[in-house]
Structure 1
């Protein structure tokens, strides 16, 4: 797992599920953001029902949770639904520093 997260300089790790409406809606917003930032940020999705052993390592207690990594270190974390504009703002401010 850590090999995936640390693959690139900038990463976003999404903890999600197939049964949560908030997760489904957030996933749709992330798809829009990926189209814009895929060259600069690595995006990863973890289904909590399939990857439960990872939750304690990242201290994830609620879904959807997004963890933003810059230079292999967590720089920001958000819980719950965010629209694509809010996600782009977080990426710009926390990862891209534009």
Structure 2
């Protein structure tokens, strides 16, 4: 399994690292206490390795960074938001299969 490709994102650097990125981005909104988030984490790690250089894959802890979570109306976690050119283009809520997430990433890249 590929590791180390997932970027930890905070409220402070969200605009710079995600909205101003020249690459599409996928952000996993999660929390330490969230079991489904922990189930999704290995899939997010794998995708970060597979799409390295093409897509920014980040994780944002909603407990530590409530500003960004509130701004995007995150009500349930895990939530994956897909960004392109600084705009949300797609959203997935809950634990999804790797294939489902890849499909959305590929659509975002198209």
Rounded Cα–Cα distance in structure 2 between residues aligned with 1:22 and 1:87: 15
Q: TM-score scaled by structure 2?
A: 0.81
Rounded Cα–Cα distance in structure 2 between residues aligned with 1:55 and 1:80: 15
**Count of residue pairs brought into register by the alignment:** 96
Unaligned 5+ segments in structure 2 are: 1-13
Q: TM-score scaled by structure 1?
A: 0.90
Rounded Cα–Cα distance in structure 2 between residues aligned with 1:35 and 1:77: 21
Write out aligned runs for 1:62-73 (5 A). Answer: 62-73=76-87
Structure with the bigger percentage of helix? 1
Rounded Cα–Cα distance in structure 2 between residues aligned with 1:69 and 1:52: 19
RMSD across aligned C-alpha pairs, in angstroms? 1.1
Unaligned 5+ segments in structure 1 are: none
Rounded Cα–Cα distance in structure 1 between residues aligned with 2:105 and 2:56: 11
Offset at 1:41?
Answer: 0.2
Rounded Cα–Cα distance in structure 2 between residues aligned with 1:91 and 1:58: 19
Rounded Cα–Cα distance in structure 2 between residues aligned with 1:59 and 1:36: 28
